[in-house]
Structure 1
């Protein structure tokens, strides 16, 4: 049986950037020709996110080989953050009152999907957070809707829609209590 070892990072270093970039290229290999999903676009977003308050990442490694198999990262978003400003309608006030953690990316390499790795990384990322609420954005078409249903199963609910950039598809912003 395959198992994963979770490694928590709270500093955005060149080594972490390289590791996340390599994982991203594997996770999104079928989308890398789309402007929003190109590796350089991801690295630009990652550099911006890595400089923002409260940045942290969890990287999952195959317990047997040590190979990296997935990642989750996020950072704190406060009232007035661009995360909220781009939404088509204002989010419920509770998400902005004391700050929230925005999960910016979760990805698992093919071959490790469907066995709970993303949930393990997500929960490990949340375990260390003080923010009362968690939010994320999801493409409702991802996996023919399976990804959004997965997040609903984790307790997330839709709180708005957003188009983060002109190259991005419209995304559903979801939120839940961190605990």
Structure 2
């Protein structure tokens, strides 16, 4: 891994101020997959709008100057949330009995991959949260398994699988303590 280029990390709790920038970065990050219905920019925009209205929404964008180079966003989930209901096998009560931060998306433009930028964005997203756990879903095929391995190196452990929508691939649900 090379050293991360100088980036300015900015945190937002309102989607409106950065929605366009998130869509632009997403389109480049997911360019090879945009022909698939679940990965289309319009599908991402619909998910983003829904997530942006959910409790505890937060997004972090990394900028090189004024140019957005990566992002992550998530929101707070509680026991009984559809996120947990779609996880199989059902997660333990120890995980679901406390609010968790669901990291819904992480993306870094190709030129900034391998620089530590994704980790900086991720850690900033988790910084200062009062939830005990962070959880995310990953397509095990992403990056030929490298993305899944990366999340494991960040302390995430597999706990089950989920298919959030009929158009979505089967995803691995992962969790880690925030502190």
TM-score by length of 2: 0.96
Give the structure 2 partner of residue 137 of structure 1.
Answer: 137
Maintained 8 Å contact 1:25/1:39: yes
Match of 2:34 among 26, 32, 35: 32
Which runs of 4 or more aligned residues in structure 1 lie more than 3 Å from their structure 2 counterparts after TM superposition?
none
Question: 2-side partners of 1:3 and 1:92: how far apart?
Answer: 40
Give the structure 2 partner of residue 11 of structure 1.
Answer: 14
Deviations 1:51-108, CA, capped at 9 Å, x for gaps: 000000000001xx32100000000010111101111211122221111000000000
Question: 2-side partners of 1:92 and 1:126: how far apart?
Answer: 22
Give the structure 1 partner of residue 45 of structure 2.
Answer: 43
Question: 1-side partners of 2:157 and 2:35: how far apart?
Answer: 30
SS at match of 1:131: coil
SS at match of 1:33: coil
Maintained 8 Å contact 1:103/1:134: yes
Structure 2: unaligned runs, 5 residues or longer: none
Q: How many residues in Structure 1 have an aligned counterpart in Structure 2?
A: 176
Give the structure 1 partner of residue 150 of structure 2.
Answer: 150
TM-score by length of 1: 0.96
Give the structure 2 partner of residue 97 of structure 1.
Answer: 97
Give the structure 1 partner of residue 116 of structure 2.
Answer: 116
Give the structure 1 partner of residue 125 of structure 2.
Answer: 125
